[in-house]
Copies of this chain bind each other. A is one copy, B any other.
């Protein structure tokens, strides 16, 4: 498989010969204000430009939208992507949103969803702490966030975890699916007063402890205001903990192959 980092959580994945665009956020640099109530909200989003022309991202077999927060599915994506593109979404709420935007070929991720002979198994994440979800407005804002396990007889198993902190459920998914490749959103995005809402550096160690041979691809860094971990810091941390052989953090436009 090839995993090309585009920007933030946006990636192009070639898996069993099919091309998937993940979580397209396609706006130009500085289009949106920083997320209100989050760390470094004075910084506008996205923080950098796309590394490639938008058109080059649309020659895909399907799109997967893990959830519809602005940094995973934005107005620019909705405008640029052909309405007849096959798009996998996590739930009926996101389906309704995209349908209202004019998209017609929507599929719900589930335990049995697939693209041809590629299994695309929906997994759940937790997009913030229990304390955050205990506040109704925050629970509403953080909402549901999903991941996908890719399986195919000719490929290693890939677990795209999506936006999540470390939970017993994530640990169970790792044990159950035994992925050889794990994509982790390690930008450690913070909301004020409630801390991280996605993985940080330490979560690398947790995955590695469970799956010592798995390759971990860090993404969702250095593109939106509230993410406090850089690729450089992530790779330095991997080196300091002697797990560099198992961790990559491709620059925007770069590809890793497994």
- From known contacts A39-B240, A241-B39, infer whether A195 and B205 are also in contact, taking CB-CB under 8 Å: yes
Q: Is A116's beta carbon under 8 Å from chain B?
A: no
Question: How many Å from the CB of A168 to the closest CB on chain B?
Answer: 14
Could you say how many copies of this chain the assembly holds?
2
Q: Counting chain B CB atoms within 10 Å of each CB, which of A196, A202, A209, A240 scores highest?
A: A240
Question: How many Å from the CB of A14 to the closest CB on chain B?
Answer: 33
Q: Is A103's beta carbon under 8 Å from chain B?
A: no
Q: Are B240 and A228 in contact (CB under 8 A)?
A: yes
Q: Are B228 and A190 in contact (CB under 8 A)?
A: no
Contact of A190 among B192, B194, B241 (CB under 8 A): B241
Tell me, in angstroms, the Cα distance from A237 to B242 when the chains sit together: 25
Q: Is A153's beta carbon under 8 Å from chain B?
A: no
Q: Are B240 and A40 in contact (CB under 8 A)?
A: yes
Pairs across A and B, CB under 8 Å, 13 listed: A39-B241, A40-B240, A190-B240, A190-B241, A192-B241, A193-B205, A194-B205, A194-B209, A195-B202, A195-B205, A195-B241, A200-B202, A228-B240
